[in-house]
Structures are given as structure tokens and as C-alpha cells.
Chains A and B, each alone.
Chain A
Amino acid sequence: MISVIIFAAVRFAPGDPAVTRLGMEATRSALEQERRDLGLDKPIYEQYVIWLGKVVRGDMGVSLAYASDHPVAPLVMEKFKRTIPLTLAAMAIGLVVSIPLGIIAGLRPYSLLDNIISSTSLFGVAAPSFWVGLMLILLFAVRLDWLPPFGYGPIGQGFHWKYFILPSLALGFQLMGALTRYMRSGMLDVMSSDYVRTAQAKGLPYRTVVARHAVKNAMLSVVTVIALDLGALLAGALVTETVFQWPGVGLLLVNSIQARDYAIVQMIVLVTSIWYISVNLLADILYGYLDPRIRYE
């Protein structure tokens, strides 16, 4: 357990000053005089220490554009509450669809079924998620008129589930492409390995070999790459949100960049990076669980 925490510390350490440094450069470039009372005339390292001290206490500073004394943390967290369900839904769609598809494709390489699955997943990888989003809108909102094209709910009312479907599909589709490809190549590798041949040779039913020997080991080889994609999913959600005018972190980020509201930008980047690092860390732990030979010293 301790080893895991140390690993986390090493991965975390370089992240924080980078976030700060990028944020600091930003503040230097604009609005220098007006911000003197915010403490921005102090040396950068001093600002950094102050900022870090505040971050640890959960104080992310105040938004400069929204309201002069509006704390950033609650505002950003409010938006994350809308983005996280989107990310989780996309993740669920991605995992539930791609793992079985990848297994099927990997078991029968170059069959008709594999070709269909592989080309669909290639489409998912190469098509930008915002374009997939636009195409989904064209099909389901404009042509078929089944679902609303943009927004969070009917105007003036709160959230409605119908508005949730298209954004999560668009985001999930992109993830699905990548994961299917990993899973397929993982299965290909495993199925030609010695231990699978041994398992088959000793007369185990095909089903058992696939389920107990092949799939688990194929998962092992793809866990780390999957984690990278899941981590990047939140960043992808930021772009997808813009397509669907989903009022989450993505829209907030774009608006804040345009308004040069760096406290908000800083916090969004920080939270997203922490998420990214945490998912990768989780993958390393899972990796150890899936493959007991790996021990973190």
C-alpha cells in the first residue's frame, strides 16, 4: 500500500508546479496593475507557495469574470457534477460494447464479422468526436426528430434524460473505437500463446479456454492503454460538450478562456489532470491484481 502512495507522490509532484507555472505566465501577460491587490506583483515562487497553500485548503481563488468575489471552487464543482455523468455514461457504453466486440473480433480474425467490427472501430478512432456528435444530431434530431439536438433540458426547466443520450453516445463511440482495437489485438496475441494451446490440448472446452485463460490475460495487456484513454476521456468530454451546448466543465472552460478567467481555467486543468493521473494509478493497481507476478516495491 505504501508503495502505491509513493508512486502517486512521484506522479503528482511534477504535475502541480506545471499547472501553476502555466497559470502564472497567463496572469503576467494581462491586467497587471489591476491585479496588484490580488498579490500578483509578488515573485512567482511566492505566489506559487501561496496558491498551493490555498489549494490544499480547498480555496481555488476567485473568478475574475463571473463576479468579482465569486469563489471558483463551488462554481467549477457544480459544472463537474454535470460533466462526470456524461463521462461515466460514455465509459459504460465504451466498455460494455467494446470488450465483447474486441473478443469476438479477436477470436475470428479476418472473418466477415471481424472486418465489420474492425472498420467500425477504426471509424470511431479516426472520426473527431465533435463531428460524430454533429452527425448524431443530424440523424437523430434533424432527420428522425427523436431526440433534442442541444442543451441540458427544455428551456427554463431542469435536466431531462433525453438531452443526455446524444452527448454520451458521441463520447462513448470514440472510446469504443480505441478499446475494441486494443481488445482485439490483445486477444490475437493471447490466442496464439503457448498456455492457450496447452489448455486446448489438455481437452478443456473451447468456451472455458476463452473465458478463463484468454480473456483474463488479454485484459491484462490492455488495462494500461485503456486507462490512458479513460483518463483522456474527460478532456474529450470538454470538446463534446461544446457541440451539444451541454452546460458542464467544457463550456465553462471555453467561456473562461475567452474571458481570460485564469482561476477557473487553472482549476479545471488541475482537476482534470488529477483525474487523469488517478485513473492511471488505478490501472497500475488493477494490473497488479490481474497479474500477481507484478509487485510494487
Chain B
Amino acid sequence: MSTTAQERAIDLHSRGELADRRRGRLLRLFLASFFRNRTAVFGAITIFVFTVAALIAPLLPTDPLEQDYDALMRPPSIEYPIGTDSLGRDNLTRLIHGGRVSLQVGLFAVLIATTIGVTIGLVAGYFGKWTDSILMRIVDVILAFPGLLLAILMVAVLGPSLRNAMLAIAIAFIPGFARITRANTLSLREKEFVESARAIGGGPVRIMFKTILPNTVSPIIVQASLGMSYAILFEASLSFLGLGIQPPTPSWGYMLSASREFITLAWWLSTFPGLAIFLVVIAWNFIGDGIREALDPRQRRR
């Protein structure tokens, strides 16, 4: 009956290797399935292009704030692919720089919301009873408001800025992550592998984050990529209302807001920033759907 420590170590080691190999195979299967999905690939390419553009924006030779009074309100041309605004600033440069804001807000808001939401969900689901009741009531309070209204309200209270817009959007998104994680944790904590982790002396923190979390990660990823699309939409709405990042820094929402004054004169000013929002939002949606379908064969297209 007695196995030596060495034998056990070898056994554990080979099992680990097996798991690694299995994980690698699953990853390949997932990627293959994801990339067979045309809309998902379209989404991934779109996001890639916008991300690269946002990253290289500071390296561009053109300045989004540079005004040229000899080129006011120019329609799209070769020199200005999508025209210039009322101060003669190059619209394409502004659009690319605006993408940085969107990307930044989306990324950080979703990151914050995921971290907090998932932690709440794990703790509530794992401990249950009154811990669960209290945490979920707090989450319900957030859910009692329409998300956008909550974000508007918080920015109104904290004062408009990029950081506050991020925080407001993050808080509005916490319930989604918390609820999904809680629901999964509730069913996972009764499973045998969690039982065994507890039997070998794993503490609650270790079990929550090392045993349960990896098994509930896929719905969270789906939620996160859909969250990116909503975060970008919310950020655009906030800066359209003047509650996001403050001018002169260009953002898509602000560009659209400023274009209203000139809508009878310059169609390009109100068209392209909105098109950019639309493309990015739809791309994240496609990616989210693609991941969901690739992870869950039951949801594949009929």
C-alpha cells in the first residue's frame, strides 16, 4: 500500500504532463473552431486593426490637436482622408487618437469589473448563507438602475474625467460578472474535485481561486468580451454628453457631440466617429459570440 514519495512525485508529474497535453489539444480545438467562424474572424481582425492604430497613434507624424486655418471643414480628400473639422484639425488623426480612449476605457473598465465581480461571485457562491445574501443584495442594488443611468449618475457625482468614466462603467458591469460566477460556483462547490481539494487541506482562498475559478473561466471570458462592446458604447455615450474625457483630447463621443453644430455643413464629421464606434462594438460582439460557440458545442449554429 505504501508508495514512496518518489513514486508519488513521478505519478503526479506524469499526470500534470497529461493535463498539459490535454489542455493544449483543447486550446487548438477551440482556436480551430473560433477561426472557422467567419464573423468571429472579422471581429478579431477589426479589433486587431483598431488596437494597432491606437498603439501607434503617438508615433504618427500628424498631431490631433494641430489646427490649420487654411484647411477648415475640408471634405474627405487624399490629403485628409476623412476631412477636417471646424478648427482645421485632421479628422483621421483625431479618430485614431479617439480609439485610444475607447480602448483604454473598455479594457480597464472590464478588467476592474471582472476582478471585483468575479471575487464577489466566488465568495458569495462558495460561502453561501448570509455572506451570499449580503453580497447579492448589494449587487441587486446596482441592478436596480439601468446601467447607463448609473454610469451617468456616478460621473455626475464624481465629476467628469476619463478615470471616473472608467470607474462608473466598471461598477455598472460588476453585477453581470458577479452573478455568472456565483451561479457557476454554486454548482461547482458540490463537485468531487472541490471536495478532494478540501480533503487534502486546501483553504477557502486556495479552493476558490485555484480550484473553482479555472473551471468557470469560459463564461467569464464571454461576458468580458461582450462587456468590452458595452463599455465602449457607454464611454461614447458619456463623452457625447460631455461626461467622459474632457476636450481637447479627442474621443469618439466628443467628436460626435461637437459635430452636431455643423451637421448641415459637414456630413463627414458626424459620420466617421460613429462608424468607428459601430465597428468596434460589433466586432467585440462577434468575438464574444465566437468564443461562446467555440467553447460550447451545444450552442453551435444549427
- B interface residues (Cβ-Cβ under 8 A, vs A): 137-138, 140-142, 144-149, 152-154, 156-157, 229, 233, 236-237, 240-243, 256, 259-260, 263-264, 267, 270-271, 273-274, 277-278, 281-282, 285, 302
Is A125 an interface residue, CB under 8 A from the partner? yes
Q: A-B pairs with the 6 shortest C-beta distances?
A: A131-B274, A235-B146, A14-B141, A126-B282, A15-B144, A257-B156
B153, B229, B271: the one contacting A138 at CB < 8 Å is B271
Bound CA span A18–B137, Å = 12
Asked if residues B285 and A125 are in contact (CB atoms below 8 Å), the reply is yes
Asked if residues A135 and B278 are in contact (CB atoms below 8 Å), the reply is no
Asked if residues B237 and A254 are in contact (CB atoms below 8 Å), the reply is no
Asked if residues A14 and B144 are in contact (CB atoms below 8 Å), the reply is yes
Is A117 an interface residue, CB under 8 A from the partner? no
Closest to B147 in A: A232
Given the known inter-chain contacts A131-B277, A131-B278, A134-B274, please indicate yes or no for A126 contacting B144, CB distance below 8 A.
Answer: no
Asked if residues A253 and B152 are in contact (CB atoms below 8 Å), the reply is yes
Given the known inter-chain contacts A131-B256, A137-B263, A254-B242, please indicate yes or no for A269 contacting B145, CB distance below 8 A.
Answer: yes
Is A239 an interface residue, CB under 8 A from the partner? yes
5 intermolecular pairs with C-beta atoms under 8 Å apart? A127-B278, A131-B270, A134-B270, A149-B264, A238-B149
Count A interface residues, CB 8 Å: 45
Write out the residue numbers on chain B whose beta carbons fall within 8 Å of the beta carbon of A234.
Answer: 146
Asked if residues A239 and B147 are in contact (CB atoms below 8 Å), the reply is no
Asked if residues A11 and B144 are in contact (CB atoms below 8 Å), the reply is yes
Known: A127-B278, A128-B278. 13 other contacts (CB 8 A): A11-B140, A11-B144, A22-B153, A128-B233, A128-B277, A130-B256, A131-B256, A131-B270, A142-B267, A238-B149, A242-B241, A257-B243, A276-B145
Given the known inter-chain contacts A135-B271, A137-B263, please indicate yes or no for A130 contacting B237, CB distance below 8 A.
Answer: yes
Write out the residue numbers on chain B whose beta carbons fall within 8 Å of the beta carbon of A188.
Answer: 302
Given the known inter-chain contacts A126-B281, A128-B237, please indicate yes or no for A269 contacting B149, CB distance below 8 A.
Answer: yes
Asked if residues A127 and B145 are in contact (CB atoms below 8 Å), the reply is no
Task: Looking at the assembled complex, report how far the CB atom of B286 sits from the nearest CB atom of chain A, in whole angstroms.
Answer: 9
Given the known inter-chain contacts A269-B149, A273-B145, please indicate yes or no for A128 contacting B274, CB distance below 8 A.
Answer: yes
Task: Looking at the assembled complex, report how far the CB atom of B47 sits from the nearest CB atom of chain A, in whole angstroms.
Answer: 13
Is A265 an interface residue, CB under 8 A from the partner? yes
User: What does DSSP make chain B's interface, helix, strand, loop or mixed?
Assistant: helix
Asked if residues A238 and B152 are in contact (CB atoms below 8 Å), the reply is yes
Given the known inter-chain contacts A109-B302, A231-B146, A269-B145, please indicate yes or no for A126 contacting B153, CB distance below 8 A.
Answer: no
Task: Looking at the assembled complex, report how far the CB atom of A224 sits from the nearest CB atom of chain B, in whole angstroms.
Answer: 13
Write out the residue numbers on chain B whose beta carbons fall within 8 Å of the beta carbon of A122.
Answer: 282, 285
Bound CA span A238–B241, Å = 10
Write out the residue numbers on chain B whose beta carbons fall within 8 Å of the beta carbon of A123.
Answer: 278
Bound CA span A265–B241, Å = 15
Contact mask for chain A residues 248-278; partner B; CB cutoff 8 A; 1 contact, 0 none: 0000011001100000010001001100110
Given the known inter-chain contacts A188-B302, A235-B148, please indicate yes or no for A18 contacting B270, CB distance below 8 A.
Answer: no
Write out the residue numbers on chain A whose beta carbons fall within 8 Å of the beta carbon of B271.
Answer: 135, 138
Bound CA span A257–B158, Å = 11
Write out the residue numbers on chain A whose beta carbons fall within 8 Å of the beta carbon of B274.
Answer: 127-128, 131, 134-135
Q: Which of A29, A109, A127 has the most CB of B within 10 A?
A: A127
Given the known inter-chain contacts A14-B144, A138-B271, A232-B147, please indicate yes or no for A269 contacting B263, CB distance below 8 A.
Answer: no
Given the known inter-chain contacts A122-B282, A126-B285, A188-B302, please indicate yes or no for A232 contacting B148, CB distance below 8 A.
Answer: yes
Contact mask for chain A residues 118-155; partner B; CB cutoff 8 A; 1 contact, 0 none: 00001101111011001101100010000001000000
Write out the residue numbers on chain A whose beta carbons fall within 8 Å of the beta carbon of B302.
Answer: 109, 188, 192
Write out the residue numbers on chain B whose beta carbons fall within 8 Å of the beta carbon of A34.
Answer: none
Write out the residue numbers on chain B whose beta carbons fall within 8 Å of the beta carbon of A125.
Answer: 285
Is A243 an interface residue, CB under 8 A from the partner? yes
Write out the residue numbers on chain A whose beta carbons fall within 8 Å of the beta carbon of B142.
Answer: 18
Bound CA span A15–B146, Å = 12
Task: Looking at the assembled complex, report how far the CB atom of A152 sits from the nearest CB atom of chain B, in whole angstroms.
Answer: 16
Write out the residue numbers on chain A whose beta carbons fall within 8 Å of the beta carbon of B263.
Answer: 134, 137-138, 142, 149
A127, A128, A142, A265: the one contacting B153 at CB < 8 Å is A265
Write out the residue numbers on chain A whose beta carbons fall within 8 Å of the beta carbon of B259.
Answer: 134
Write out the residue numbers on chain A whose beta carbons fall within 8 Å of the beta carbon of B149.
Answer: 235, 238, 269, 272-273, 276
Bound CA span A265–B243, Å = 14
Task: Looking at the assembled complex, report how far the CB atom of A80 sits from the nearest CB atom of chain B, in whole angstroms.
Answer: 14
Task: Looking at the assembled complex, report how far the CB atom of A103 sits from the nearest CB atom of chain B, in whole angstroms.
Answer: 17
Asked if residues B157 and A25 are in contact (CB atoms below 8 Å), the reply is yes
Write out the residue numbers on chain B whose beta carbons fall within 8 Å of the beta carbon of A273.
Answer: 144-146, 149
